[in-house]
Structure formats: structure tokens, C-alpha cells
Amino acid sequence: MADTYDLIVLGSGPGGYVAAIRASQLGLKTAIVEREKLGGICLNWGCIPTKALLRTSEIYHYLTHASAYGLKAEKTGFDLAAIVERSRKVAGQLNAGVKGLMKKNKVTVVEGDGVLAGKSRLVVTKDGTKTELSAKHIIVATGARARDLPFAKADGERIWTYRHAMVPKEMPTKLLVVGSGAIGVEFASFYSDMGAEVTIVEMLPRILPVEDEEVSAFMHKALAKQGMTIHVGAGVEKLEASKAGVKAAIKGADGNVTTSEYSHAIVAIGIAPNSEQIGLEALGVKTDRGHILVDGYARTNVEGIYAIGDVTGPPWLAHKASHEGVVCVEAIAGKKPHPFETWNIPGCTYCHPQVASVGLTEAAAKEAGHEVKVGKFPFIGNGKAIALGEAEGFIKTVFDEATGELLGAHMVGAEVTELIQGYAVARQLETTEAELMHTVFPHPTLSEMMHESVLDAYGRALHY
């Protein structure tokens, strides 16, 4: 006989485990199925351990630039094994935290590979033993995995995915990063700060292509100033690994192909949804290029089957998955949540300097038919930024000229990943420029630049 639940969640990433917790809070008997570690890619191999690595490189950057703060730091160095160990310990601590949350919320954890065996049935296999589970509602939260170059599979030795790049056996001396999205730029930033010679190759005309064009241009200059070589409108035609390193043939924007050698290469060209071999096809669940199609309540075209997170498509962000999970479960429980939408999801890139954004870029706002007012304020005009020695960057706001609606906000600079939520809250509350102008921001803080950017959009900036 199958173990019976109200809800089964397949996958325990930030979408899956949050959905399970919310389901338990609403009185649903819940099981969660995981083949690896609780917390999924984000907690174990993504968001969290990469931030631990980036914190290390940030501190190392300050050590090597101590004289800028009137300090002396001599004979600086690092222990790569200890850096990796710290990152893994951080991930381990949070993995244990998720285990505790499952126990606290009385969520049954089932280890193994789960496959849909019917509209209300899931078979879990571990070490050859099969366990059958049944539930009226099943949420697929299986996430996604790194894409390989079709002509050069990652080997973990010379050609890496993000997982290999988080547990390096040796520090690259000359690193090629293929792709300049958030993952590529974050690893480029980490390894550059740790002393590697870094080259970025981006197929599109600019790095961080989903960001506002001014942010992309600023970051291109900033990373180049740090010593990185950046090729945009370019592609890797060939990548050959040997025991000694990697040989890459790079086709530039001018059409010419040059060959260069590197110690290692990181492939960060996007992700592929984990939607194969989990029983979707037999049930007739609709997908688009592997991504499961869902409505605003995470419902698929098959009754009782839902999907959330990276397996459903962009934006591929942990906080998007968590919110989807909550909306999905509340709808299942008979609540009346607002249907999930992607219009107000902040994005963050933890490079140096940081990048954060929410809403429409200036170009996207214009393409959508808005007449816009745009404000910008530079870090160099902020007292706290200067005192921190972090005067690089700017904050940009985009408003609808007719209504004063905050259409988007875009930031580059120190701690902007912490600041962006202020604008996300403002957009959620449908705040206009008037409320933002009349809000009192504390001094001295970086957040004052948010105020000044709004003021600048209306010709009223005070400090620049």
C-alpha cells in the first residue's frame, strides 16, 4: 500500500522546502522527496556557498588594498583548501537548518529519485528499494542544472561548471569564463580577486545582458579596470582540455578566430530544466523546451500536478521559487492568494562592485510605450560611500512621466543587493515619486542615494 499524503513535493530546493513548510502550516499532511541534499542546488551548490566564497575574496581584496585605509597588511596569502572548507561548512550548516525545519513542521522527508507514476502517485527509488507515495496534489520542484557546451563537456579537471568552480582542487592562474550572466560574472569576480588572470567571453553584445544598458556598460569598464579581458559579441568555437590546461578558439565580433591557452575554463552559458525522466510525458504534462508550463497558481494542464521554480522557466531565482511555492500551496489549501507574477522580482549579482535591479530597464519601459523620467545618482556624491572607500557606482530610477509610477530601479556599487528591496517594496505598494520624495532617509547611509536618484528624475537632486 502507498503512503498517503495531502501533498507531495518533488525536490527540496528553496521552492520545494518552502512550499512544504507552508503546506504544513495550513494543515496539509506533507511529504518531500529529495535525491541529494535538502536545500537543493541553491543552498548546497549555488546561492549560499558562492556567497561564502565571494565574502572570502572581498576580504582578500581589502587585505591587498589595506594601504587605501591607512593600514598595513604584509605577506598576505590564502589557503585554498580552507576557503573551500569554509564554504562547504556554511552550506552544511544551512542544510542542517532545513532538516530542522522539516522536523519542526512535521514534513516527512523521503530520500531517493522520485518519478510520477500517475496523477496522484509517486514512486521513490533509493538503493534499489521502491517506495510508493500517493497524494491528491503533487508539486514538481526539481530545479535545473548547468548547460554544457555541445562540443566540450565539463570534466571537473580543466573544464568546470559552477559546481566544480565551488570546490577547486587548485587555483586557476589563467581562467576563461564562457558566459557573462550572474553566475559567470560572480565567478570571474571571485577568481580575479584571488589573483587569477580572467577572460570573459559573451555571445551577446554586452555583459550582464538582462541588466539596464548603462549598468552593463559600467560593469564592463569596472571589470576591465580590475584587469579582466572581456570579449562581447564573441563565441567559443572550440575548447580542448589537456592535462596542462585548456586551449580555446574564440571568434570575435569582427569574425576573426584567435586561439589562446588557459589553465581552466568555467562554462556558465545557462541552465537546463530537470524535467526529463520524472514521468511528465506519460501524464501529458505540457512543456516548452523542457520547462513545465504553469498558470499563476503553478497549476499544469494536468489536474493535481503543479510545478514551481527553475523547472518552470525564468527568472531562475531562489526567491522566485519560494514565492511561487507559497502561492501554489495557499491556492491548494483554498486560500485566495494573488496569482504569481514576475513583474516585481529583484535580481542580484554579487560581483565587485555588486549589481541589483527590479522592474523595467529604461529601454524596456520605452518599448512598452511609456514616456519616462529617469534619475541617476553616483556613489561619489554620497558621504557614506566615500567614507567606506566604495565611491564606485550609481543608482538609476525609471518613472512613468504621466503617472509617477516607479517602473524600474537599477543599481551598481557596494551593498546594492541589500538596497534594492526598498524599491521592490515601493513597487509592490504602487508608490509614486511623491511618496518616495517625502520619505525621510537616514544619514549617513548608502540608502540616501535612492532618495537622490528619485529627486534627480524630477530635477531636484541635492548633493550632485
Q: How confident is the model at residue 364 (pLDDT cuts 50, 70, 90)?
A: very high
As a whole number, mean pLDDT of residues 261-265 equals: 98
Q: Is the peptide bond before 339 cis (omega within 30 degrees of 0)?
A: no
pTM of the full predicted structure? 0.96
Please answer whether residues 329 and 26 qualify as being in contact, where contact means their C-beta atoms are separated by less than 8 angstroms: yes
As a whole number, mean pLDDT of residues 335-340 equals: 96
Cα dihedral across residues 241, 247, 253, 255: positive or negative: negative
Give the burial class of 382: count Cβ atoms within 10 A of its Cβ; 0-12 exposed, 13-18 middle, 19 or more buried: buried
Cα dist from 296 to 66, 87, 340, 381, 413, whole Å: 50, 36, 5, 42, 34
Which strand (E) or helix (H) includes residue 235?
Answer: strand 235-241
Cα 381 from chain centroid (whole Å): 29
Mapped onto helix, strand or coil, the DSSP state of residue 259 is strand
Cβ atoms within 10 Å, residue 276: 11
DSSP state of 432: B
Share of the chain above pLDDT 70, in %: 100
C-alpha cell at 345: 522580482
Please answer whether residues 115 and 122 qualify as being in contact, where contact means their C-beta atoms are separated by less than 8 angstroms: yes
Cβ atoms within 10 Å, residue 157: 14
DSSP state of 57: H
**195-223 pLDDT tens trace:** 999 999 999 999 999 999 999 999 999 99
As a whole number, mean pLDDT of residues 274-296 equals: 97
Which residues sit opposite 114 in a β-bridge?
Answer: 124
Active site residues: 443
Give the burial class of 227: count Cβ atoms within 10 A of its Cβ; 0-12 exposed, 13-18 middle, 19 or more buried: exposed
